Amino acid sequence: MRTLKQRILDEATVIGTEILKVDNFLNHQVDVEFLTEIGAEFYKRFGQEQVTKILTIESSGIAVACMTAPFFKTPVIFAKKVESRNLVGDTYSSEIYSYTRDKSYRVHVSRNYLSVQDRVLIIDDFLANGKAVQGLIDIVNQAGACLVGVGIVIEKGFQDGGNQLRKSGVKLESLAIIAAMNEKEIVFQNVETDAD
Amino acid sequence: MRTLKQRILDEATVIGTEILKVDNFLNHQVDVEFLTEIGAEFYKRFGQEQVTKILTIESSGIAVACMTAPFFKTPVIFAKKVESRNLVGDTYSSEIYSYTRDKSYRVHVSRNYLSVQDRVLIIDDFLANGKAVQGLIDIVNQAGACLVGVGIVIEKGFQDGGNQLRKSGVKLESLAIIAAMNEKEIVFQNVETDAD
């Protein structure tokens, strides 16, 4: 997605070799108008899949998922990281290891909101090692629902998550894939769907 | 807001005397179409205030804020609860005590995204004791920005947060105010703006 890549080049800052800060429009300050364009792009790529639910994970996936869902006319479900008093009763849950924080956490989705009838599109802001998405896929499988695909705003192509998902047969669409980055330069991987 | 009250009556469940579960449309599964109606209602109440930024707090405020912002044509900023490697540098921050979890946490907003020029509308899903909103107001004040008001989806009117804010002169608009609730009954407080 050309406009996304341009914004990354114009506005992102790289810290070290792993952190890409896109706080300006994606995951701290949110440019909802731009996220609507991103939602439209996901619809272009998954609109034929008869999606019934969009699944994401708190927190920074919520904004992208919410601006995407109106195109699909489906609800959003966000998996919760904290077991709260408000989420009692039966849940699907999966353990996710976070490299950033070097610890595992468990995410939960109420059994009320995913079933064998559902066709689920997973949406998230970033994909790096893929552990969060794998946890969400685990939850989709527990529900016996059908995973139609995974839509990611920015994939760190130099980490392994994306390729693992593709190898396992998941339809993964990342709107920008970063092949390499450092504090001076960000290099994108070109993929067929880049034509836009 | 009549449709909101009806959905609460139809779909919410009360646990004990303090927990109102609206997981079905507001803070786990998100009905984005309905949240767009909620956004329109906030715009009716604050549209004349020349809002430049909508401020909320992760996680469950994000969905409401994102579906509200397109009416105002402003970005959303969500205060972050965890100090992350991605949010380095100068931040405004405030400590918030959570009764639910019986501990304090600190929220952060990058200084890049709030300034003396800003006219800020705070949006959140719930208001009970008001500590989260007070923390956000503290951050708006630290930035020297102008607080134009606070928009809340559901206020627990039997807790003190709303009245404290009103007494301090804040323009607070809650779309549904619950006067009392238990496992059998939810009673709303009637307010002038209920005419809709």
The whole-angstrom distance between B192's CA and the closest CA on chain A is 30
Query: What is the end-to-end Cα distance of chain B in Å, rounded?
Result: 6
When mean pLDDT is compared across A67-81, A97-111, A122-136, B76-90, the lowest value belongs to: B76-90
pLDDT at A151 over 60: yes
**% of chain A with per-residue pLDDT over 90:** 86
Instruction: Judge whether residue A193 has pLDDT over 70.
Output: no
- Residue ranges of the alpha helices (H) in B12-78? 32-46, 60-72
Compute the distance between CA of residue A133 and CA of residue A120 in angstroms, rounded to an integer: 12
Query: Looking at residue A85, what is its pLDDT?
Result: 55
* ipTM over 0.85 threshold: yes
* Least confident window among A178-192, B33-47, B168-182: A178-192
Structure confidence by residue, pLDDT tens digits, B28-58: 999 999 999 999 999 999 999 999 999 999 9
pLDDT averaged over every residue in chain B? 93
- For residues A124-146, average pLDDT: 97
Task: State residue B133's pLDDT score.
Answer: 98
pLDDT tier for residue A101 given thresholds of 50, 70 and 90? confident
- The pLDDT of residue A34 is above 80: yes
- Best CA proximity match to B46, nearest among B171, B159, B163: B171
What confidence tier does B86 reach under pLDDT thresholds 50, 70, 90? Answer: low
Pick from A33, A86, A112: which is nearest to B19 by CB? Answer: A86
Q: Residue range A55-81: average pLDDT?
A: 97
Q: Is the pLDDT of residue B82 over 90?
A: no
Strand blocks (E) in B9-166: 13-15, 19-21, 29-30, 53-57, 76-79, 91-98, 103-110, 119-127, 146-156
The whole-number pLDDT of residue A112 equals 95
The model's pLDDT over B107-126, given as tens digits with 9 standing for 90+, comes to: 999 999 999 999 999 999 99
What the block records as the tokens of A111 is 């059994």
φ/ψ of A89, rounded to 5, equals 85, -165
Residue A104 pLDDT grade (very low, low, confident, very high; cuts 50, 70, 90): very high
Judged by a CB distance cut-off of 8 A, whether residue A7 touches chain B is no
A86 or A69: whose pLDDT is higher? A69
Chain B environment of A67 (Cβ under 8 Å): 66
| Sequence ranges of the domains in chain A | 2-191
CATH annotation of A2-191? 3.40.50.2020
More confident residue, A193 or A54: A54
pTM: 0.95
For range A46-56, the mean pLDDT: 98
Assign residue B40 a region: left if phi > 0, alpha if psi is -120 to 50, beta otherwise?
alpha
Residue contact A66–B35, C-beta within 8 A? yes
Tally of CB atoms within 10 A around B179: 13
How confident is the model over B77-96, as a mean pLDDT? Answer: 81
Distances (CA, A) of B12 to B5, B26, B34, B146, B174: 10, 10, 15, 35, 17
The answer, yes or no, to whether residue A5 has pLDDT greater than 60, is: yes
Torsion angle in degrees (nearest 10) through CA of B18, B21, A136, B81: -40
pLDDT interval class at A47 (50, 70, 90): very high
Between these two residues, B99 and A144, which has the higher pLDDT value?
A144
Determine the pLDDT at residue B84.
57
Burial B7-45 (b: 16+ CB within 10 A, else e): bbeeebebeeeebbbbbbbbbbbbbbebbbebbebbbeb
Q: Which residue has the higher pLDDT, B193 or B175?
A: B175
**A28 → closest Cβ in B31, B70, B78:** B78
Q: Which residues of B touch A76 (CB under 8 A)?
A: 29-30, 32, 63
Separation of alpha carbons B122 and B78, rounded Å: 10
Percent of chain B clearing pLDDT 70 (strictly above): 93
Is A83 at the interface with chain B, CB within 8 A? no
The alpha carbon of A141 is separated from its chain's Cα centroid by a whole number of angstroms, namely 17
User: pLDDT grade, residue B88 (50/70/90)?
Assistant: low
Topology of B2-81+89-189 in CATH?
Rossmann fold (3.40.50)
Nearest chain B Cα to A34, which residue? B75
Q: Is the pLDDT of residue B183 over 70?
A: yes
